[in-house]
Amino acid sequence: MSDVLLEIRDVETFYGSSQALFGMSFAVRQGEFATLIGRNGMGKTTTVKSIMGLLRPRAGRLTFGGRELRAMPAYRVAQLGFGLVPEGRQVFPNLSVRENLIATANNRARTPDPWTLERVYALFPRLRERERNLGANLSGGEQQMLAIGRALMTNPRLLILDEATEGLAPLIRQEIWDCLSRLKAAGQTIIVIDKNIASLLKLADNHHIVEKGRVVWSGSSASLRAQPDLLHKYVGV
């Protein structure tokens, strides 16, 4: 497949002597909305950290736009065009909303229509209202909007959200899903980790079920919807 953007093959990652990924493999195409789903502790966050160079896999291949990631330091991986919205948001608490957004902004890939403060504020009007507030003083939902806005300001080729809506109120969750739907329509490639399977089934093109450090099933929303036993067995819904 020539339009594959990210490819992970047989990746093995350890924490010290404890193995967390046992041959993780999946691929994401340009413009695709993909998910990693599975129970807690199955290796989803470890996969993201392995991709981003935050953990060093002991085996396997990871390529992004044809470039091998495994030997690269994390800052070089990020420069290739990953926008990470990490678990727990991690906005800068002592910077204002505006400062958070411009702190890491860049357009390395020279996108013709780059993300700007105005575009982020149009996507999340709440952030404009809170422009001068410190990151620490935002609600969880506002922090998540800010974390997404901050990732977009780097003009990422791939946007990754780890626990996209965890701990958020239903209305705010919906706002995050609406935002992701609009980004997808605009052609953004996205990987989402979340427990809200119903929303993911509506939005995503493909899903990868993670069980004990590897993908045990990959397929489309239609195919997953047709196999509720899979969700019951591996995701517990």
Q: Note the residues at the interface with ligand ATP (CB under 6 A).
A: 15, 18, 20, 38, 40-46
Closer to ligand ATP at the Cβ: 47 or 155? Answer: 47
What's the CA gap between 192 and 187, in Å, rounded?
A: 15
- Complex with ligand ATP: residue 52 or 153, whichever CB lies closer: 52
Choice between 15 and 75, CB closer to ligand ATP: 15
Q: How far is the CB of 179 from ligand ATP (least distance, A)?
A: 22
Question: With respect to ligand ATP, which residue has the nearer C-beta, 100 or 206?
Answer: 206
What are the two backbone dihedrals, phi and then psi, of residue 94, each rounded to the nearest 5 degrees? -95, 10
Residue 151 CB, nearest distance to ligand ATP (Å)?
18
Question: With respect to ligand ATP, which residue has the nearer C-beta, 41 or 93?
Answer: 41
Report the nearest approach of ligand ATP to the CB of residue 115 (Å): 27
Q: Which is nearer to ligand ATP, 22 or 92 (CB)?
A: 22
CB of 16 to ligand ATP, least distance (A): 7
Q: Which is nearer to ligand ATP, 49 or 130 (CB)?
A: 49
| Distance in angstroms (rounded) separating the CA atoms of residues 64 and 27 | 10
Q: Which residues of 20-34 are buried (b: 16+ CB within 10 A; e: fewer)?
A: bbeebbbbbbeebbb
What would the two tokens of residue 55 be?
């953990």
In terms of Cα–Cα distance, which of 51, 46, 53 is closest to 14? 46
What secondary structure does DSSP assign to 28-91, as a single string? Answer: EETT-EEEEE-STTSSHHHHHHHHTTSS--SEEEEEETTEE-TTS-HHHHHHTTEEEE-TT---
Cβ 182 to ligand ATP shortest distance, Å? 26
What span, in angstroms and rounded, lies between the C-alpha atoms of 202 and 180? 11
Shortest distance (Å) from residue 66 CB to ligand ATP? 26
Query: Which phi and psi (to 5°) does residue 52 adopt?
Result: -80, 0
Q: Closest distance between ligand ATP and the C-beta of residue 14, in Å? A: 9
**What is the spatial distance between Cα 81 and Cα 153, in angstroms, rounded to a whole number?**
11
Structure tokens at 121: 């504020």
The β-bridge partners of 159 are 83, 190
